[in-house]
Amino acid sequence: MKFTQKLAAAAVLVLSMGMGGSAALAAEEGGHAEQQNWTFAGLFGTYDEHQLQRGFQIFREVCSNCHSANLLAFRNLSEEGGPGFSEEQVKALAETYTIEDAEAEGGERSGVAADRWPAPFASDQDARDANGGALPPDFSVLAKARGIHQPFPFWVFNYFTAYQEGGADYIYNLLVNYHEAPEGVEVPPGQYYNSFLGGTLAMGPPLDDGFVTYEAGEGEAVPETLEQYSKDISAFMYWMADPHLAERKATGFRVLIFLIVFAALMYLVKRRLWANAH
């Protein structure tokens, strides 16, 4: 092999091994993750509005009783690339919440679209007290703060498929894997066994079949099962963590096509120029 080819091969190896080595480490303790077919995965992936709306419903009715989402503003819900609520809907929704505001009369007022999502507890300490000492993590970027473990060589492919939805897969697998603890595993009071984590955590199973009645969307019949709920909330959480995904990929396409065409033209000019160089 020529030096050139060898070094190129070596460079690819270094990049993939080194980077994968660190990226794949998160959640190593966990069990096997069932990867889902997310609509927002891959090159052409974008969010499914209806799924985000369903996810939002679960978030609002269930998760937000314990989890905050400090970086989510009501207005985000009507922004491009998101769940696609109308501005009126968002305004009406925001008004149903009371926001603490030291400058308002009585220290409180009803919400407006620019407000952030109100936290369920006044402080971290209150949140712990209400949850047996465990702090429910903030949802804003939680879907980016988790990943799944993939054995070598599978994570190498991620660089070529642009798979980075490990956080959504993590949350999905967490939610559907609450089971009886196997024989011999001690589950302390206030803890729940989860086979995906391969251990226990302080959050009980927050969802179950039929737990949430989906607001009727455009004639579609969406199953009200644990799996469906888990998918929908995971997708919603991923959107919350990466709200500009669709726009970013769309720009990326234009940039990549431009670069490839430009590189091809440059190559032709370069070859022409060098033809008389020797």
Distance in Å, CB of 215 to other proteins, minimum = 27
**Amino acid letter, residue 23:** A
Residue 15 is a binding residue for other proteins (CB under 8 A): yes
Phi, psi angle pair for 116, to nearest 5°: -80, 160
DSSP 8-state code for residue 27 = T
The interface mask with ligand HEC, positions 60-99, x = CB under 6 A, is --xx-xxx--------------------------------
Residues 6+ apart with CB under 8 A from 216: none
Element (H, E) at 109: strand 108-110
Q: How far is residue 125's CA from residue 131's CA, in Å, rounded to a whole number?
A: 10
Which option in ligand HEC, other proteins, none does residue 112 bind, with CB closer than 5 to 8 A by kind? none
| Binds other proteins (CB under 8 A): choice among 11, 104, 185, 187 | 11
Instruction: Identify which of 219, 236, 121, 114 has the alpha carbon closest to the alpha carbon of residue 172.
Output: 236
CA dihedral 98, 66, 54, 164 (to 10 degrees): 120
Size of the site for ligand HEC (CB under 6 A): 21
Contact positions with ligand HEC (CB under 6 A) in 203-222: 203, 206-207
Size of the site for other proteins (CB under 8 A): 60
Q: Which is nearer to ligand HEC, 113 or 172 (CB)?
A: 172
DSSP 8-state code for residue 42 = S
Residue 24 is a binding residue for ligand HEC (CB under 6 A): no
Residues that bind ligand HEC (CB under 6 A): 58, 62-63, 65-67, 131, 134, 136-137, 142, 146, 171, 174-175, 201-203, 206-207, 233
